[in-house]
Amino acid sequence: MVKFLMLPKNTKFYDLFEQGTANLVLAAEKLNELFENYEDVESKTRQLKKLEEKGDTITHQVLQRLHRSFVTPIDREDISLLAHTLDDVLDYIEAAGRTAFLYGVDQPTDRARQLCSIILKMTYVLNKVLPRLRYRDQFKQILEECVEINSMENEADDVHHTALAELFCNCDDPCKIIKWREIYQHMEEATDRGEDAANVLEGIVLKNA
């Protein structure tokens, strides 16, 4: 008897998740471009906002479909949690760029660029992982890539702590300290939520393997 490896039942959820992570990559690339080439800041933050709004639309479509679906390919709570967690990553990416613009930051710091790079790498891995969710024979790769995401979050934590230490030790301007502490926090939260998404994916794999 042929054993089917594809998880059946309403594959539209997978389509929407893959659209969401592709959009997430675009947002991370836009933030990285902003901090690597810090000009036309208002225009770039508007583009980030459009990507964030697109992400909200995708999340809404996932939840709408969830409410209308009697049978789902994975547990309902996992679909909801994964949708919200990926949306949170995007929200914090957009918030980092928006805050830099609204606070009138002159130039990004080297630590901010490091955090941008980690966020970007994390979104690339998430975008690579989500298509694997359709197939049980790719679950092992999902677990391996979740470990990779966890390592990236640890790296981001280290950079974040170093960034704050440098900020408090080397900066005499209280306003600048407040601005950058908030921007760093948004970026670190983006990586935290990326790790949360990896944890949700790991749980899905372990329940469905």
Q: What is the pLDDT of residues 190-199, one digit of tens each?
A: 999 999 999 9
Report how far residue 171's alpha carbon sits from residue 151's, in angstroms, rounded to the nearest whole number.
30
Residue range 84-102: average pLDDT? 97
Q: Is 6 helix (H, G, I), strand (E, B) or coil?
A: strand
- Region of 170 on the Ramachandran plot (φ > 0 left; ψ -120 to 50 alpha; else beta): alpha
Question: CA–CA separation, 41 vs 109, rounded Å?
Answer: 15
Of the pLDDT bands very low, low, confident and very high (cuts 50, 70, 90), residue 7 is very low
For residue 5, pLDDT over 60 is answered with no
The arithmetic mean of pLDDT across residues 65-81, rounded, is 90
pLDDT reported for residue 9: 54
CATH class label, 12-208 = mainly alpha
d(CA 102, CA 85): 25
pTM value is: 0.93
Handedness of CA 122, 125, 129, 131 (dihedral sign): positive
Q: Mean of the per-residue pLDDT values for the chain?
A: 93
- Tokens 């990285």 belong to which residue? 32
